[in-house]
Amino acid sequence: MEKLTIYLFLVVFATTAKGQERHYNDMGPVDEDTPPRRELLTLQLGVKFTVTPTRHYHNGYMTLSRRSEYELSFTTSDTFPNFIANERTNNLTISVDFTFEDGTVEKNDFGFTVIDKNNHEPVFTGPSVVRFLYQPKPGQSYIDVETWITVADEDLGSFGLQDVVVVDDEEGLNIQLVKYALYGPVSPAAYGIVFRIPTNIPIERMYNRIIYLAAVDGESGTVFPAQLKPYPQIL
């Protein structure tokens, strides 16, 4: 089993509220009138990143650039304190999520581990029964049922997870999936699952209904049964 550990470290120059960048020398802090700039530094060997183009946040901007193969920097003119920068290469998405508070970074280091089993078998984890409140609002065409079912493929490279779909669905039920990336220490291409269930289907047709989720990677697939358990609101 090959184990690849990736650690990301954020190195940030403190920035004053007026947009002055504060450097430090032997005589103490020195303020210079410069645009707000925060430095993102990655320290590891053998891991290269592709850089996402400029992303817009509110009325400002955030620009990522690569200073070297292993070092990224970003510039922002936005005063909004929360930022997420995503780097993706070879089916591995690295999400940097941090908060500025008074010109500094609240969380300054984190890391996660990726294990490459090289077995090409996506794995589902989570409950096999999906219980949800079924009480659509007037005019609502569907309800979103969020679960903590996830699917992960621990293979790197071209055999990473390609898609997750609903299969063997009852005719006319038309359940859709909304997939979103998870935060924290997860395998590459891991997703949270939201069932999007149409409201024009009588609730009786969904009781104990078993649907199947299929995850497909470069060589094989995995099927996971999920049983629907809707219930009306108890007044």
Average pLDDT over residues 83-112: 42
Nearest CA to 215 out of 156, 144, 160 is that of 160
pLDDT at 122 over 50: yes
Domains 22-116 and 123-230 share a fold: yes
For residue 211, the number of C-alpha atoms closer than 13 Å in the C-beta half-sphere is 23
| pLDDT for residue 20 | 37
The per-residue pLDDT for 227 is 87
Which pLDDT value is given to residue 25? 33
> Does the pLDDT value for residue 187 go beyond 70?
no
Q: Which of 56-65, 77-86, 138-147, 195-204 has the lowest mean pLDDT?
A: 56-65
pLDDT in tens, 133-142: 888 888 999 8
Q: Backbone phi, then psi, for 205, in 5-degree steps? A: -75, -10
Q: CATH topology for 22-116?
A: Immunoglobulin-like (2.60.40)
- The pLDDT of residue 197 is 86
- What pLDDT shows up at residue 156? 60
Q: What per-residue confidence (pLDDT) applies to 189?
A: 55
- Domain 123-230: homologous superfamily in CATH: Cadherins (2.60.40.60)
| pLDDT for 176 | 84
Under the banding of pLDDT at 50, 70 and 90, the label for residue 172 is low
Can you read off the two tokens belonging to residue 57? 């946040």
The pLDDT mean for the chain works out to: 59
Rg (C-alpha) for the chain, rounded Å, is 23
Residues 6+ apart with CB under 8 A from 136: 143, 199
For position 16, what pLDDT does the model report? 33
Higher-pLDDT residue of 106, 150: 150
- Rounded CA separation 63/186 (Å): 26
- Residue-level pLDDT at 226: 86
Q: 181: pLDDT confidence band, cut at 50, 70 and 90?
A: low
Per the CB < 8 A criterion, the answer to whether 6 and 114 are in contact is yes
pLDDT at 106 over 70: no
Using a pLDDT cut of 90, give the percent of the chain over it. 0
Residue 231 has a pLDDT of: 81
Is residue 108 exposed (0-12), middle (13-18) or buried (19+ Cβ within 10 Å)? exposed
Mean pLDDT for 135-152 is 84
pLDDT at 119: 62
d(CA 35, CA 210) in angstroms, rounded, equals: 56
- Strands 129-133 and 221-231, bridge-based pairing: parallel
pLDDT at residue 51 tops 60: no
User: What residue spans define the domains of the chain?
Assistant: 22-116, 123-230
